[in-house]
Amino acid sequence: MPPLPTTFDDATNASIASIQRRQNDLREFQLPRLRGCSESLTVQQQYAAELREDLETITRLVEALDEAVDVQRSQRSRKDLRGVVESFRADISQIKRDIRAALLASKRAIDAKASSNREELLRSSMLNQTKPSDGKASEDVVMKAQQDLTDALRGTMGLMQKELERSVLSTQLLEASTASLQATSTTHDLLTGLLGASKQLVTALEKADWLDRLLIFAGLAFFALVVLFILKQRIVDRGLRIAFWWTRLLPYMDRGGAKGVTMEQAMEKGTVTLQSVAVVTSSTIAATAAALVSQVHHAAESDWNALSTGTLEMDPFPTSADLDSASSESSDLASDLLATTSTAQICEIPSSESIHDEL
């Protein structure tokens, strides 16, 4: 070991000195004691444990000294201390090899001593025993071999029992995992069915919403037409009547050249006709709307009942055939109203002679 440099601090020098003392103790006392141990395996293991404990202590001190390399002030001190640490590590490796060699030497010595003791015992027994005793010794050897074989079989059986328990545990874990997967699959199927039913219900509600919007727009359009018709009756027609008041004095001639009704009567007849047409139109729209509302109400009620029972089936919305039937009924009603209106107008139109008499 090179001499310690004077540039190290006191703590580093103390640590280096402690490591050197422990190494000297291992080399000079403990290793020779372990190498010459031939008493028993228990004593050998005790000596080896003391050696390993001291070696671990030296290793920790060397690691602490390695961490103190960067703390040194000068570059030369760090370099020298790093060299000291490397030399200590090399010494530790050598001590480990020496410990293994000492263990092998001690084991050989213990085996040799046991073998010599066994030979002495056998030699003395052979001298003291007769031939029957030789037969008994061979029987003892056979019994010992059988006992060893029985112990080996018992050990094998114990290992097989442990492996069987592990296999049973693995099987139970697999069964539990299978049950969890089945429960998850069932839950997934239920959620899938619920999502499908919700989707169908949302689709039905969207269609009903569109039909409601169409009905609302149709009602608004009908309301606007009625308002326009009222405004026309109240403003335009009345303004025309006031503007063309003088036309009442002129006779109104029909196609045949005969004198007919006056302009005022013709306008009144046109007004009646327009009112009849408006009534027919409103009746037609009302009938169509009633048919659509009935179909939508029936579809919504069926969907709600199906959703409550868990079996949702979409009822068909009003088809073209249903709308055609509703339109035909409305057309029949409009035709009847027009016929009634025409008959009433014909009955109300005075003859040309009466008009002429009035003029």
> What digits encode the pLDDT tens for the residues 261-316?
455 565 566 566 656 656 666 666 666 666 665 665 565 566 555 555 544 444 44
Instruction: Print burial letters for 124-151: b (CB count within 10 Å at least 16), e (below 16).
Output: eeeeeeeeeeeeeeeeeeeeeeeeeeee
With a cut of 90, say whether residue 327 has pLDDT above it.
no
DSSP 3-state percent helix, strand, coil across the chain (nearest 5): 85, 0, 15
Q: Report which residue type is found at 273.
A: T
Does this model's pTM top 0.95? My answer is: no
Share of the chain above pLDDT 90, in %: 16
Q: What residues form DSSP beta bridges with 259?
A: 253
What whole-number distance in Å separates Cα of residue 205 and Cα of residue 67?
A: 77
Residues 28-85: tens digit of each pLDDT: 888 888 888 777 778 888 888 888 888 888 888 888 888 877 777 778 888 888 888 8
- The pair phi, psi for residue 210, each rounded to 5°, is -65, -40
Residue 259 banded pLDDT, cuts 50, 70, 90: very low
